[in-house]
Chain A
Amino acid sequence: MFIEIGHFAVILALVLSVVGIVSPVLGLKTNRPDWVRIGRQAVTLNFFLVSIGMAAMIYSFLTNDYSVRYVAATSNSKLPIFYKVAGLWGGHEGSLLLWVWILTAYSTLVVWMHWRTQPVTMPYLVSVQSLIMFGFLAMIVFLSNPFERIFPVPLDGKDLNPLLQDPAMVVHPPMLYLGYVGFSIPFAFAMAALFSGRLGEEWIKVTQRWTLFAWMALTTGILMGGYWAYYELGWGGYWGWDPVENASFMPWLVGTAFLHSVMVQEKRKMFKVWNLFLIIVTFSLSLIGTFLVRSGVLSSVHSFATDPGRGLYILVFLSVMLALGFGTLIVRSGKLKSQIELDSIISKESAFLFNNLFFLVAAATVFLVTLYPLLIETLKTAKVSVGPPYYNAVFMPVALGLLLMMGIGPSIAWRKASTDNLKKNFLLPTLIAVIATVAAWLIGIRTVFGMAGALTVSFVASTIFIDFAKISALWARRHEINYLLAFYQAFTNNQRRYAGIVTHIGVLVMVVGIIASTVYQVEKVVPMRIGDTMQLKEYTIRMVGLHEVSGANWTAQEGLFEVYKGEELLTVLRPQKRLYPVSQTPTTEAALYTIHLGHVFLTMPEVGSDSVTVRGLINPLILLVWIGGGIMALGVILNIFRPRMKTP
């Protein structure tokens, strides 16, 4: 019964989304404010309706209602409650519902928060958001209906894919969607700006915090996915350049470019068309990401069931959105003329543009490579793969270039950087970077990747340090206070800028983690019996046992491994080879021991009758990858909740 109510609510939402598209525009054209307001109510009501749909689905999951096809496919009576709820986004139909729900929630928030202050743009925004809603709701209702019943009703569900039965996977998809869908807000504002002709800086100022939030959610979502891959897929890496990973990385790259280049428009009123272009690209890439995952165009670990009909629908919808976005930009941008005021090429304005160039080339590379196999298949009916060895050779240099820009950009002056400014800000960091690189060479870092890393990281780190030191000194002198307080005051006084720097610090920390854990990883795969030992750098690993254990919905072979450093017993690790009987899927559960921000990582890929295969890794400093991610998120939070700028 509940399911039918939910289903009906979602169908109603589809109808209302049409109202949401049409009525505000009609209201504007015919000058009837009531009609515009109807649009707002439609959006708000849609949030409640889709929420009812969500609630009905969750209810069916919790009550094990296997007459619902989707529940029967992604849940099981033995599944822990935690994962039953997560089952909602464990498959194609349900995750689509979550996508729309997040969209309606965002839209409702935006409409109520900005209705008074943005009366001119709001009607267009409502229309655009409703159009996106319509696209996804129509897909849910007609092609991917999670409310569908089956008959005969199965006795039990087929279970959630065991790989997804993991805390990180419970949070990863919602986070990712908060990011993807979050970009629809600046997108809708940009479209509204284009339609209404209000192409000033207003839309950028209004959407700034929304964009930051979406970016943070996307960043967190991607990193969580990485952490999941790290310990759940069992090969000890966190990023495999899988097409679906790439699909989330592309909007991230362009979104990051957008976050940077809007600052130029705010400060100097330049690059107006460029910023509109960037946000349209960012949101389009979010849609393309959704398309790639669901259409079966690319094979990947994450693909949902493939279905050309569904794929065709998404493609049509995608085409409509792309045509709308870029078409409007092309038609409307002729009227736009940025005031171009540039005093010198050596200035912050151009640093921002070069930053954008690097980000876009990075995004274009990922885009090209993700689609390249498809291109080759179409042109030559041959099959190619492009994997990690390629990215290490091509993407990494571009990424290092970006990193270097991160050192230059924040410290270079607006308008025109004098030689004095350059000397003051960059002479010392350059020296430090050179010294650090030589030092790296001397302590035995000989790989190109490692040395280039040492060079760029030390350069950027020292520019940041000098920046902080200078501003603290200035405030300490001026207000006659101690350095710590001065730093705090200086920081809060221009929190927008310094919160950004905090995010940059997070990036640096992450880069150190990435380089250390890739270049200095030690990895061994050996067969072992009880009593055998394996040496991993300074750690001795001794297998002491192998027994059966079981959980709520799985059984496992669990190995016992003592980890020694010299004579000292550090810990006992218990990697498992699990079997989820319902879906007959085996998984490898890694066991981790954290030491000095790194991991001793053990998995048992194969378990025989008397011997097991053990994969042992030392991943030095790998935790820095996620600590860095945390610092990046912290920087964004500080940015979103910044105090108003005071006059010193």
Chain B
Amino acid sequence: MAPTSARVVVAGASMAGLRAAEQLRAAGWTGAITLVGDEPHMPYNRPPLSKEVLAGKAPFESLAFRPRASVADVEWRLGTRVVASRLAERTVVLDDGSELSYDGLVAATGMRPRRLRCPGPLAGRHTVRTLADAQGLRAELTRPGARVVVVGAGFIGCEVAATAVGLGAAEVTVVDPLPLPMVGPLGELLGRALLARHKERGVRFALGTGVAGFAGEDRVTGVILDDGTVLPADVVVESVGSLANTEWLGGNGLDLTDGVLTDEQLRVGGRPDVVAVGDVARFPNARYDGVPRRVEHWCIPTDTAKHAAKVLTGAEPAPFAPLPTFWSDQHDFRLQSFGAPALGMDDVRVLEGDPAGDVLVGYHHDDRLVGVVALGGPAIASAAARHRADLLKQPALTA
């Protein structure tokens, strides 16, 4: 057990940081815990930002997590960032220049939105990552007659486009270099079904084109596509992926090429006293091919925190092997996934229903089901859930 003077520093005070603190207590850590986070808020739930918060249906109080009683005594340093670290000295440096020493360190600094780097004004261009982002975007989306261009047809882009249509925006157009929305995580069959559903509900698309720049002087008035076409725009949303917040770990000899590389126990740099959790962690999943990947699903902060807390308190559990799961709510339908569709894109089959209506799609590798995605209402989502137990039971998929 930790001496009472021992301290774990958690860099990052969002969902992953909170869950790490709670799970450290659950794993028996009785020492001090200090969480350092750059946002001024206590940890809150981000999925509603692109939906209920934009739609004006969710005040902050409804987003805030309710921390467990076991973390009532932890120290929260909010509005503060960790800017550097010296792992050999077990020390992190905060943005006010002060230093914190630690006995254990949890890297939970998450992601920030990637921005488009092309010519044009910045005003009127938004991202959706924080509460402040969503509130700022809402103020502009709700102006009467707003014409909205969403750049990027992934999770956030599709959700924001659906919400904007629901708010009564005059025009909503989604731009993406790929030929179908969410084609990376879903594949072509569901990408086509998703495209049709969005179009039926009033979303326009400009697919197979990138963005060359933004029109306007002080403020964006249009989005210039690769072929020179200008889409008039009062509001632009950039949903073109995210970048890992790892700069503070530089200079320690770590692999930070895309997030923080960990081993199968979520340890960083082979150190027993440093772990990474949440979407900044690039970990091998023992369930699959052993290739380290970052995973930006909502369940990952909780899954990683539970495992990493055991490791940081001295246990050696079986290698980390979460079953991936994600969902996305758009318009009046939901996407619900279990397993790893990305590993079964070469053999995609309709398991139930029809792509024109509610549908359940299976993704196979060597004739074995490795992932399912449901598109539609609650009944088809339940059908996806019925495959979860089988996906959990399967032996590891080796490359």
- Determine if chain A interacts with chain B: no
